[in-house]
A = this chain, B = another copy of it.
Amino acid sequence: MANSKYEYVKAFERENHLLPDCYILVRVDGKGFHKFSQEYGFEKPNDLGALMVMNQTATRLVEAFPDILMAYGDLDEYSFLLRKECALYERREMKLITLFGSMMSTHYIMEWNKQFPEKPIRQSKLPIFDARAVVYPLLKHVRDYFSWRQVDCHINNLYNTVFWALVSKGNMTPKDAENRLIGTLASDKNEILYSQFQINYNNEPEIFKKGTVLIREYQDHTSTDHHQQQQLSKTQLEKEKKKRNKAKIVMYHIDLIKDEFWDSRPFLC
């Protein structure tokens, strides 16, 4: 058929296969969520319902891809850790990230409408997520990645907590509150909260301070590398896959930075 005459245009396509035997980290990030949160009237500094929408949405993705070992999220972003042996779409980067972005945004609509039936998502302001993939050679990098995100969550949340206390309880304008906080350290912010508003930051809910971790908890996992994988019999691979499929997905709001989290979960390596 005459199609062949035009098919040469396919030769311009490029693909990137993510490096084998490395962890894959896919991070999705809400586009313009500051405006999104205004449009749908998020409570400040934190809207627990909106956070639950994010967490439920991310849970749907963890369920859909047994290769996801764990996920961590906060505000309008979520990071998914895929195991080193992941062969999803032959590790094609474009395929992986566009599907994660698309699934995140469609499930978000559904979870939102369940959580907030009184204010469903409107087409004039949709939840749009971009996505990117990063490969990490070592578990150490993965741990530092999640530490990076959790420290970031803490910094943002402390700031937002003080900022909104100054605005809503201290009757400052947003501009004045912003200026008040320029150059302040964490200790200063804790002090403002305590002395001006009798808020002990330590008593704030863990979900706000720590963000949310989703873990595919399974016990009798045996780690295998790329090469061993190739040598497992089909039966063994099927069995391993079934175990991953059946593993329960558990939600925590806990510290990811200290050793304890990782030491007690050898199946994450």
Q: Whole-angstrom distance between the alpha carbons of A151 and B6 in the complex?
A: 9
Asked whether any CB of chain B lies closer than 8 Å to the CB of A105, the reply is: yes
Number of copies: 4
Which residues from B are CB-within-8-Å of A99? 31, 101, 128, 130
Q: How many residues does chain A have at the interface if contact means C-beta atoms less than 8 Å apart?
A: 65
Report whether B9 and A144 are in contact in the complex, using a CB–CB cutoff of 8 Å. yes
CA distance A19 to B16 in the complex (A): 14
Q: What CA separation (Å) do A143 and B14 show in the bound complex? A: 19
Tell me, yes or no, whether A46 is within 8 Å of chain B by CB. Answer: no
Instruction: Name A94's closest neighbour in chain B (CB-CB).
Output: B132
Specify which of B9, B104, B133, B141 is in contact with A145 (CB 8 Å cutoff): B9
User: Closest CB of chain B to A63's CB: distance in Å?
Assistant: 12
B137 touches A21 (CB 8 A): yes
Nearest Cβ distance between residue A215 and chain B, in whole angstroms?
A: 20
Docked-complex contact A137 and B138, CB < 8 angstroms: yes
Interface residues of A in 117-147 (CB under 8 A from B): 123, 126-138, 140-141, 144-145, 147
